Structure 1
Amino acid sequence: MNNFKAFQKSLTSLSDQITPFASRTFQYTKEQLGQVEDKTQLPPDYIDLEKRVDALKLVHQKMLSVTSQYAHESYDYPPNIKETFQDLGRTVSEKVSLLSAATSPAEAQAALTAPPSAKPQPKTFPHAIARASLASSQALHQQNTGAGDDPLATALEKYALAMERVGEARLAQDAEIQSHFLAGWNTTLNTNLKFAARARQNVEKARLTLDAVKARAKGTTWKLGASDRSEPHDEHELSPEAQEEIEKAEDEFVTQTEEAVSVMKNVLDTPEPLRNLAELIAAQMDYHKKAYEILSELAPVVEALQVEQEAAYRKSREGAS
């Protein structure tokens, strides 16, 4: 007997859980079929908040779809480059140091193909330019059998060292953007905006429940297969129980609406997204500033080599004439 009573109690509990869901489902279906005339309307201010939250969500999705590339090291690495394991084995600065100690072409070649000392080198466009510049410099050096250094080879080696520094600055920028922009915007999208979406869902559930209770109390419950809805009863015909049920549903609707308004305002008013954007700009600015400084140091050195080579070229032409 006790087991049977427990079974009945569990069925009652299950019924209590299913009935609200079923009522909301029927109410939603009625609305989709145009069988509802007195749908409870949400306040205009609430609807405006929903539109603003939707816009904020779209902004986060659109911006993250592009800026998420900062989390991928090789986002600017040209796909047509064919670099080998040896190319990526050592940094340009390590190779230059080994090359400076080389006393023969064989030693220089060994320095270029030295086994890796750490993880493979970054696959960024500046790093790729650096590696290509150093390899080009050595190709000229190896074929230079005359006296003195080849000015183009010297310039390419200096350019390689500079571009490696630019590449390291780009990686530092990416790390800053990942931690100070991407992390924040992903949190807003996947946490704060989801809280707002859940609160809005609760409002819609409360609204559907309220309208379902009203329809049931007034005798306008929709039935599958019925050609017409039953005639609604007048407001004064509602029983005290039905009136109490409606008031309870109305209170829940108001409570959920107020909660959703609070959550949405909090999401819209937080300064975090704008602060994150400022940090994104700061990271980009710092990178471009460092790149400018590095190349500004290099430019006069290369220009001096150019002037020197042009002077030597004019002198050789004058001697030949």
Structure 2
Amino acid sequence: MSGASAWTVLDQTSRAVSSGLDTIRRAAVPASEGVNRGFQQVTQLARERVGGEKDVTVLPEDYRQLEDKVDKIKLITEKLLLVTRTYTLPHNDYAPPVVESATDIANSIAAGAATLFASAQRVVGAVQPTAAPMAKTDSTQIPKSLAHAFSKIALDGANVLSDQDPFAAALKKFAKTQERLGDAKLKLDADITNRVYKEQSSTLNNLVGNAMRARRNVHAVRLAYDAARAKLKASRPEVAERARVEMEKAEDEFVAAVDDAMGKMKTVIESPEPLKNLADLAAAQLAYFKTADALLSELSPEIDELQVTNEALLRRGA
């Protein structure tokens, strides 16, 4: 390689290294400024909490009033969300083990009844009505609601009785109604999950969440602003001008942060969503209870009639 070529390569390498160092320096400046600012904020917070610093910027009264209103909306939404979450859970209105135990008991009763019938046939020699064996319960097939559990138990119970037994007829009617009532309950769960729970979650995570993040930013920027003011007070004359520029910049950032947070808090307060969610919750419950009222109003007189029939049969048999 000639001398000229070597110098050219060396020059290109030198420029590349210099450019890389410039890039690193430019990237390091914001990082160092961020570290320095964070240190100033921590120092200012320590002075306020431990050192009893009195010269602290007070947030506007309007800002504090907005904070109070947002905090109340946030708390109410969180508590409603906690309860509304119940509708998102499977078989949320009963404990599955209780239903399984009841079914197991019904199976035992059916087995015992079959044994008694067999014994009676051997002793008396009469033909006794044969009850259909109750199907074994698959413990993995848990009913989806309390009403579905009632429906299953009632239908299983009806199947071990004679078709002429009024109790069997009542159990079948009860099972059919409870099945429809259970379907209505699942619709209630779906409606509240989609129209209320998800909307409440969105309100909390988005509207309220944005406001809370903006408030945390105000707190951080306020610390930086007060730290800059304290630094200006303690500055020597030769660096006072630079400290003043930093303080004015911090003040502008503080004012902008306060305005931003107030705007986002007003959005929370002026949002129709919390009340709309409550209205949707009440509407979904109303629809469900209307369905329940209609179903049970039809069922109850039919069971009453079967009860009268059963009592008459019992008196006749006596």
Task: Identify whether the pair has TM-score above 0.5, normalized to the shorter chain.
Answer: yes
Counting helix residues as a fraction of each chain, which structure ranks higher?
A: 2
Q: Which amino acid aligns with 1:289?
A: K
What does the per-residue CA deviation read over 1:98-152, in whole Å, with 9 as the maximum and x for residues that have no partner? xxxxxx968x549x4699xxx94633111111111111112222xxxxxx70001
**Aligned position for 2:143:** 122
User: Could you report, residue by residue, the CA deviation over 1:256-295 in whole angstroms, capped at 9, with x for unpaired residues?
Assistant: 1011001001011101111111111111111111011111
Q: Which residue of 1 aligns with 2:227?
A: 212
2:40 corresponds, among 8, 23, 37, to 23
The answer for unaligned runs of 5 or more in structure 2 is 1-13, 105-128
Q: How many residues align?
A: 277
Rounded Cα–Cα distance in structure 2 between residues aligned with 1:5 and 1:283? 64
Counterpart residue number, 1:308 = 309
* Structure-to-structure mapping, 1:1-321, within 5 angstroms: 2=18, 3-78=20-95, 79-82=97-100, 108-109=132-133, 112=135, 120=141, 122-141=143-162, 149-219=164-234, 239-317=240-318
The one-letter code sitting in structure 1 at the alignment partner of 2:171 is: L
Show CA shifts across 1:146-201 (max 9, x none): xx700011101110111111100000000000000001000111121110111001
1:166–1:291 contact (8 Å) kept in structure 2: yes
* Partner AA of 2:59 in structure 1: L
Q: Which amino acid aligns with 1:14?
A: A
The 2-side partners of 1:238 and 1:38 are apart by: 22
Counterparts in 2 of 1:8 and 1:307: CA distance versus 1, 3 Å: closer
Q: TM-score, normalised by structure 1?
A: 0.77
User: Residue 155 and residue 205 in structure 1: after superposition, are their counterparts in 2 closer, same or farther (change >3 A)?
Assistant: same
Q: Tell me the CA shift for residue 24 of structure 1.
A: 0.8
Matches of 2:211 and 2:46, distance apart in 1: 25
1:47 maps to amino acid = R
Q: CA deviation at 1:250?
A: 1.5
Structure 1 residues without counterparts, runs of 5 or longer: 87-103, 142-147, 221-232
Tell me which amino acid in the other structure corresponds to 1:150.
Answer: D
Q: Is the 8 A contact 2:103 2:153 kept in 1?
A: no
The answer on whether the counterparts of 2:91 and 2:145 sit within 8 Å (CA) in structure 1 is yes
| TM-score of the two chains, using structure 2 as the length reference | 0.78
Instruction: Find the aligned partners of 2:303 and 2:25 in 1 and give their Cα distance.
Output: 90
Q: Deviations over 1:188-234 (max 9, x none)?
A: 111211101110011111111110001111118xxxxxxxxxxxx8x
Q: Note the aligned Cα RMSD (angstroms).
A: 3.0
What is the SS of the residue equivalent to 2:98?
A: coil
Q: Distance in 2 between matches of 1:10 and 1:132?
A: 71
Query: What are the superposed Cα offsets for residues 218-256 of structure 1, whole Å, 9 maximum, x if unpaired?
Result: 118xxxxxxxxxxxx8xx999443333322221211111
The CA distance in 1 between the partners of 2:295 and 2:203, in whole Å, is 36
Amino acid at match of 1:127: H
Q: CA deviation at 1:14?
A: 2.4
Shift of 1:315: 4.3
Partner of 2:122: none
Q: Summarize the Cα distance change of 1:238–1:42 in structure 2 as closer, same or farther, 3 Å threshold.
A: farther
